[in-house]
Amino acid sequence: MSTRLLPHEPGDRKCLKCNETFRSKSAANRICKKCSQVNASLKLSEAQIARERGAKRLNGIPIEEQDTYEMKFF
């Protein structure tokens, strides 16, 4: 029976880019070393990266202005 890792715990995680399992320092480390090196070699501006990522969303709702959003409770 496998146990779920806590966010701060090191452990084996799947890379979000290549889906290979690698030894991660924490949940914040979700890209393997190989894919991180590929990403670092790409010469993209922040604007290009933002276009590739698409619109920022909060719970599926696009965020229009940076760092502002309205929570709706039903």
Q: What is the pLDDT of residue 65?
A: 61
* Residues 6+ away with beta carbon under 8 Å from 29: 13
Domain ranges of the chain: 11-62
pTM reported for the whole predicted model: 0.55
Torsion angle of the four alpha carbons 44, 49, 52, 55, in this order, in degrees rounded to the nearest 10: -160
Q: Write out pLDDT tens, residues 3-48.
A: 787 778 899 999 989 999 999 998 888 999 999 999 888 888 888 8
pLDDT per residue over 47-67, tens digit each? Answer: 887 787 787 777 878 877 655
